[in-house]
């Protein structure tokens, strides 16, 4: 199952749990950007660890595999850190700005034997 996040929800990695990982899809739209990365609690806030791929229509995309839990993240667009413009969930960060919040849910087996 795929969680789509046009930069959806992320709270700190303090609540990560072990278990099956999930594929999370990030998107950012900009026809002018030259480079877009994602930095967050899932990659120790290292933008260079998660470069996004530019598509012909101006969308930038990245698939990450994450454990269930909550994460904070920001896009880094041409070196400028920014909150995901389509993510409704944010939290304040120590720099006086806001981080986007991503919650990755558990995979539930709905076909359990009775």
- Tell me: the pLDDT tens digits for 56-109? 999 999 999 999 999 999 999 999 999 999 999 999 999 999 999 999 987 555
CA gap 18, 102 in Å, rounded: 16
Does domain 2-104 fall into CATH 3.40.50.880?
no
Of the two residues 48 and 5, the one the predictor is more confident about is 48
* Alpha-carbon dihedral sign for residues 5, 9, 14, 15: negative
DSSP per position, 27-51: EEE-SS-S-EEEEEGGGTT-GGGSB
Kindly state the percentage of the chain with pLDDT values over 90. 73
Report CA 22 to chain centroid distance, whole Å: 12
């Amino acid at each position: 199952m795929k969680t789509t996040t046009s930069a959806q929800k992320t709270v700190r990695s303090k609540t990560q749990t072990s278990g099956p990982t999930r594929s999370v899809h990030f998107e950012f739209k900009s026809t002018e950007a030259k480079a877009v990365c994602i930095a967050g609690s899932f990659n120790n806030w290292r933008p260079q660890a998660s470069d996004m791929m530019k598509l012909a229509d101006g969308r930038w995309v990245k698939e990450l595999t994450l454990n269930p839990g909550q994460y904070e993240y920001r896009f880094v667009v041409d070196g400028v850190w920014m909150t995901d413009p389509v993510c409704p969930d944010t939290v304040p960060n120590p720099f006086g700005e806001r981080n986007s919040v991503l919650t990755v849910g558990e995979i539930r087996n709905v076909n359990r034997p009775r």
